[in-house]
Amino acid sequence: MSNQVVIEPQKGWFRVNFKELFEYRELILFLAWRDIMVQYKQAVFGVAWALIKPVFSVLVFTLVFNKVAKLSSGGIPYPLFTLCGVVAWSFFAESLTQSTVSLLNNTNLVTKVYLPRLVIPIASLGLPTVNFVVSFILLVILMGIYRYTPLKTIIFFPVSLTMGLSIILGMGFFLSALCTKYHDIKHAVPFIIQMWFWITPVAYGMENIPERLKIIFFLNPMTWVIQSFRWSLLGVGEMDWQRCLITGLCSMVVLLGGLFYFRRMEGDFADVI
């Protein structure tokens, strides 16, 4: 008698088999490593691109916002102030862009191979994570140059990372699932991210924003992710614990909402992609 394995879909839109995801950890690492190799294997500058992009961003923002617009940076050297925001924002923007197209870029896996579909958008965070680590090392070096040592506030650094990662995963699950049905989403997301950047205090402090416009920034969850990221590392920036708590709750809602939508659409991926 031959052994037969029957694969049945899990019931429930929220149910996630974490044990199965753990069993596929090697596939997650393989897919992540593949993306990293595709990005850097034949690149002239290799991993240096992860340094070149933030460096040039800081140079441009320093020229435009600090030298021309004369915006303040809360007493922190402007290159350091800006790099801190750029590192956090770049991780968010790259992760969202990669996860949105993750299912489309792995159509053969989705349509021909059984695996937990959540593996694919999770693995897509591998390349942005490598870029984040490299640029974060640059940030640490710059902190050393300016003699800024981690303050007591650094204990809150994991909290800011958790909030940002929750938003990234939730939106990534939602957009990757939506993109299987509406392929033009992959063109809309970079534009949305670009517009989103300008209403997020990445290259300027909240003290530079007129009072009548602050409500727009307060409603932006990434405002408080960036603020908490910068505050925990540099001890600068306007921190509102009530709004940070609300942002933390919103990040959990985004994560659960994205997971809910992904699970709801998962059964149709192979048919609509």
145-193 pLDDT tens trace = 998 877 778 888 998 999 999 999 999 999 999 999 999 999 999 999 9
Residue carrying the six token digits 């030298």: 67
Domain ranges across the chain: 25-272
For residue 267, the model assigns a pLDDT of: 84
15-51 pLDDT tens trace = 677 888 889 999 999 999 998 888 877 666 667 777 8
For residue 45, the model assigns a pLDDT of: 65
pLDDT more than 90, % of the chain: 51
- Average pLDDT score over the chain: 87
| pTM of the predicted model as reported, rounded to 2 decimal places | 0.89
- pLDDT over threshold 60, residue 2: no
Annotate 139-176 with b (16+ C-beta within 10 A) or e (fewer).
Answer: beebbeeeebeeeebeebeeebbebbbbbbbbbbbbbb
Mean of pLDDT values over 43-63: 83
Q: Which two tokens stand for residue 158?
A: 């994991």
74-107 pLDDT tens trace = 788 999 999 999 999 999 999 999 999 999 999 9
What DSSP letter does each residue of the chain carry, written as one string? --------PPSSSS---HHHHHHTHHHHHHHHHHHHHHHHTT-SSGGGHHHHHHHHHHHHHIIIIIIIS----TTS-HHHHHHHHHHHHHHHHHHHHHHHTHHHHTHHHHHHS---TTHHHHHTTHHHHHHHHHHHHHHHHHHHHTT----GGGGGHHHHHHHHHHHHHHHHHHHHHHHHH-TTHHHHHHHHHHHHHHTS-SSS-GGGS-GGGHHHHHT-HHHHHHHHHHHHHHS-S---HHHHHHHHHHHHHHHHHHHHHHHHHGGGHHHH-
The more confident residue out of 142 and 47 is: 142
194-232 pLDDT tens trace = 999 999 999 988 888 888 888 888 889 899 899 889 888
Alpha carbons 183 and 96: distance in angstroms, whole number? 15
Q: Which of 117-131, 146-160, 256-270 has the lowest mean pLDDT?
A: 146-160
